[in-house]
């Protein structure tokens, strides 16, 4: 069986550090938010782990960023073909129909990944939005909450520390839901481990 190389090493390293980090950030976030209701660890420990991991994932984000920008692959892989809008919308609908119905009756996945076009259209818009907008916003609001004085000018620009808290908490809810959906979708390969193994080895079997 032919294998295709989908995930280069920097992407795999970034992805798994990010995945483990996100799970711990979500859990320590729960502890920080619900001090009196949750007893996973002390408030101080949760804040310390959360802050350290925040900086580790900030550094980790640059692995993804530098790799995709300097190889020019960001534009090929992450940017949807907005110059062919009708075709793109049609392919989104085709992919959504597959997830909602076709997959249950054994239809073939309409998207066949290749290294330069590895995401289906729905993955492409969601990953683009997550990597280019939501993760940077979560990092920036996290920095504001970490030191509201140091980042005072940005805090007042967005309307105060409550606004930063609101955005950071809303994205915490979003990412908690995302991990569940993302994990489910990651198990929908030919076998439940096909995509997950590929994210470790880089290679996926071509079917």
Q: Which residues of the chain form contacts with ligand HEM (CB under 6 A)?
A: 7, 11, 15, 18-19, 22, 123, 127, 130-131, 175, 179, 182-183, 186, 195-196, 199
Sequential DSSP letters for 62-89: HHHHHHHHHTTHIIIIIS--TTSHHHHH
CB of 168 to ligand HEM, least distance (A): 14
CB of 84 to ligand HEM, least distance (A): 22
Q: For 119, left (φ over 0), alpha (ψ -120 to 50), or beta?
A: beta
CB of 40 to ligand HEM, least distance (A): 19
Three-state DSSP at 42 gives coil
Residue 173 CA neighbour count, 13 Å, CB half? 6
The nearer residue to ligand HEM, 31 or 138, going by C-beta atoms, is 138
CB of 187 to ligand HEM, least distance (A): 8
Beta bridge mates, 204: 4
Distance CA 181, CA 115 (A): 24
The nearer residue to ligand HEM, 49 or 161, going by C-beta atoms, is 49
The nearer residue to ligand HEM, 18 or 95, going by C-beta atoms, is 18
Distance CA 102, CA 126 (A): 21
């Amino acid at each position: 069986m032919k294998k295709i190389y989908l995930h280069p090493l920097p992407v795999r390293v970034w992805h798994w550090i990010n995945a483990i980090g996100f799970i711990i950030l979500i859990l320590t976030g729960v502890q920080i938010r619900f001090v009196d209701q949750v007893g996973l660890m002390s408030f101080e420990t949760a804040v310390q782990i959360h802050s350290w991991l925040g900086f580790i994932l900030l550094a980790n984000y640059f692995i993804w960023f530098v790799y995709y920008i300097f190889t020019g692959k960001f534009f090929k892989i992450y940017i949807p073909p907005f110059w062919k809008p009708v075709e793109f919308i049609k392919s989104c609908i085709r992919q959504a129909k597959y997830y909602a119905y076709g997959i249950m009756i054994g239809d073939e996945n309409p998207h066949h990944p290749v290294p330069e076009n590895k995401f289906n259209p729905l993955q492409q818009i969601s990953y683009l939005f997550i990597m280019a907008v939501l993760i940077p916003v979560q990092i920036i609001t996290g920095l504001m909450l970490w030191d509201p004085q140091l980042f005072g000018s940005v805090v007042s620009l967005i309307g105060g520390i409550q606004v930063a808290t609101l955005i950071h908490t809303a994205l915490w809810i979003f990412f908690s839901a995302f991990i569940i959906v993302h994990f489910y979708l990651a198990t929908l390969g030919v076998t439940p481990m096909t995509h997950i193994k590929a994210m470790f080895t880089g290679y996926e079997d071509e079917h």
